[in-house]
Amino acid sequence: MTEPSPKSHLSDADHLSVLGYSDSFERSMSPWANFALGFTYLSPLVGVYSLMAVALSTGGPPSIWWIIIVACGQMLVALVFGEVVSQFPIAGGIYPWARRLWGKRYAWMAAWVYICALIVTITSVSEFGAGFVASLFGFALGRNTTLLLASALLVLALAINFSGTRWLARIARIGLFAELIGVIGLGLFLLLFERKHSFGVFLDSMGTAGDGSYTAAFMGAAVAGLFLFYGFEACGDVAEEVSNPARGIPKAMLMTILVGAVSALFSFAGYVLAAPNLDEIVAGQVEDPIPTILEGSLGGVGAKIFLLVAITAFISCVLSLQAAASRLIFSFARDGMMPGHRWLSKVTDGTKIPRNALIVACITPALICVLIWFNDGILVAVTSFAILGIYLAFQMVVLGALRQRVKGWKPAGPWSLRGWGFLINAAALAYGIFAMILLSLPGDSGSFFSDWIVLIGLIVVLAAGFIYLFIARPDRQSDAPEGDAIAVAEAIRSHHSNP
């Protein structure tokens, strides 16, 4: 990857003008804060804590290798995204990228799937974070407590987002440090001082294959990585709030993947090697093993301190998710592509934030929390399609970029893959298809609904999106640019040659 000298590229305002927009936001987010936003959205602490027990009971300790496999695959996707955002540093990420790479109908579906997935992800993170808050203060975790605490996390994140981009950046940085302490710091402590097993355990399936091939068990444990490595695209969602985004955001995306992978490896390995009852965890006899590991390794007080760090990470994660969702909704509305677009595309005069879009990004997850209060069994149903939906939205951008390359697109942003672009793009698409197949594989519980719930959820969302698209025809309400990647690249190069 190479970059031209700084003088050879457009200013932020001129670049946005070439893309057909004017500055609406305050560019007060530093590159470091932009990385922190993506990292706290990715949140290895949340991912490892949520998925370790499932991964170990499915594939045993070797499931840790999925962290490396998926990190490499998502790095390919991040490289493609980096080149796209370098030419199109526009608020909203997935939606404007898909629109400029393909067209408005295609972008509408990509954004619809992604918005639904983001809203559900906000809900699930706030619901899971409620458990941490309850544990810290000794509350009994029932339906009422979960609803109240999850709603409190949503409102707290909204209040911080309302204060403006500067506070969003500050809290994201605090969340970054909390994540690093909670995953790398704690992981190193467990590895150095509390290790009860040898590193060879990561090559031991510990009987998870039963009488069959371990390949099936290992593939089933892919959840250890697939549910972890997304969130880096949030760096691009706030592109119009970052100085020099065409250069800085691609680097922030790659750093998010790299640091996230190292953090997750330390954390996962530390918990596994420090587990006093690893055989029981792998056998599926322990539903939530991490509290036991923490109590045994840190003591009661140490475990409470960790809970405080974890809650900070959860708050920052919800905050980053809300910010990403609101910028996507704003971008969608700015082009007139959704109901209430005039209200949703408003930016406040003082704090320069899309306040109305933020309200929607808070209220909608809160309403889903209420539905879960009535029937907590639907939590799995409403969240199961989210990750597959996010992967699908990602791959729609990757496919759009590859299509433009075939048509002759040579990206004109200051951050470029140069001659490697086509190969990396094709590899990213191949990885994405592989990942979506793994995510779509049915379970083996014997219940049709339970076994196919991931695919059923996605089909329902896609069907609803197609029905609305072809009945309401939101694409007819929008005349913003579309499918112009080649033309924009030529326009940018023209500005270079005629300053």
Q: Please, which pLDDT band fits residue 159 given cuts at 50, 70 and 90?
A: very high
446, pLDDT greater than 60: yes
Reference 234, options 35, 14, 5; nearest CA is 35
Q: Please, which pLDDT band fits residue 498 given cuts at 50, 70 and 90?
A: low
Helix (H, G, I), strand (E, B) or coil at 386: helix
Other residues' Cβ atoms within 10 Å of the Cβ of residue 393 = 26
Task: Please tell me the predicted confidence (pLDDT) of residue 499.
Answer: 54
**Which range scores top for mean pLDDT: 8-22, 201-215, 308-322, 415-429?**
415-429
Reference 390, options 483, 442, 328; nearest CA is 328
Q: Please, which pLDDT band fits residue 16 given cuts at 50, 70 and 90?
A: confident
Q: Which range (100-104, 137-141, 197-201) has the least confidence?
A: 137-141
pTM, two decimals, is 0.88
Asked if 161 contacts 326 with a C-beta cutoff of 8 angstroms, the reply is yes
Give the orientation angle of helix 245-274 with respect to helix 31-42, to 10 degrees: 40
pLDDT tens column, 316-331: 889 888 988 898 898 8
Reference 331, options 24, 18, 71; nearest CA is 24
Q: Please, which pLDDT band fits residue 4 given cuts at 50, 70 and 90?
A: very low
DSSP secondary structure, 26-55, as one string? ---B-HHHHHHHHHHHH-HHHHHHHHHHHH
Give the orientation angle of helix 104-137 with respect to helix 44-59, to 10 degrees: 90
Radius of gyration over alpha carbons of the chain, in Å?
A: 22
For 32, 121, 379, the CA distances from 147, given in Å and listed in that order, are 34, 16, 12
Measured CA to CA, the distance from residue 66 to residue 141 in angstroms comes to 32
Reference 10, options 88, 105, 93; nearest CA is 88
Helix (H, G, I), strand (E, B) or coil at 242: strand
pLDDT tens column, 26-49: 888 888 888 988 888 778 887 887
Asked if 186 contacts 268 with a C-beta cutoff of 8 angstroms, the reply is no
Q: Please, which pLDDT band fits residue 6 given cuts at 50, 70 and 90?
A: very low
Task: Please tell me the predicted confidence (pLDDT) of residue 309.
Answer: 84
Q: Please, which pLDDT band fits residue 8 given cuts at 50, 70 and 90?
A: low
Measured CA to CA, the distance from residue 381 to residue 399 in angstroms comes to 28
**Of 179 and 98, the one with more pLDDT:** 98
What one-letter code names the amino acid at 464? Answer: A
Q: What tokens does 257 get? A: 């993947």
- H/E stretch holding 202: none
**Of 187 and 140, the one with more pLDDT:** 187
Measured CA to CA, the distance from residue 429 to residue 406 in angstroms comes to 14
Task: Please tell me the predicted confidence (pLDDT) of residue 331.
Answer: 84
pLDDT tens column, 164-187: 888 888 888 888 888 888 888 888
pLDDT tens column, 254-299: 999 999 999 999 999 999 999 988 999 998 888 778 877 888 888 8
Q: What tokens does 37 get? A: 């936003």
Place of tokens 């404007």: 96
